[in-house]
Amino acid sequence: MDHAIIPKAKGGGDYYDNYRLLCPHCNGTKGDRTMEYLRMKIKHREEIMKTKIVFGG
């Protein structure tokens, strides 16, 4: 997409291009934050999982 999806709580509009389909868990995690927040959160979890799998911690 060529634009940012803005949460309605942050002034985002109620139009088709401002919607994104998420599972209930991800939607709850994202809340009224941007999609970039969710992407960073997922990337961080993936890095943690790789570390735990490699080192058994």
Residue 14 to residue 41: CA distance in whole angstroms: 25
* Side chain identity at residue 53, one-letter code: I
pLDDT value of residue 22: 75
Q: What is the pTM of this model?
A: 0.51
How far is it, in rounded angstroms, from Cα 42 to Cα 14?
Answer: 26
pLDDT of residue 21: 72
Q: What is the pLDDT, as a whole number, of residue 7?
A: 76
Per-residue pLDDT of the chain (57 residues; tens, 9 = 90+): 445 677 778 887 777 666 677 778 877 888 888 778 888 988 998 888 888 766 655
Name the percent of the chain in helix, strand, coil, to the closest 5.
60, 0, 40
Which one, of 8, 9, 5, 10, lies nearest residue 21 by Cα? 5
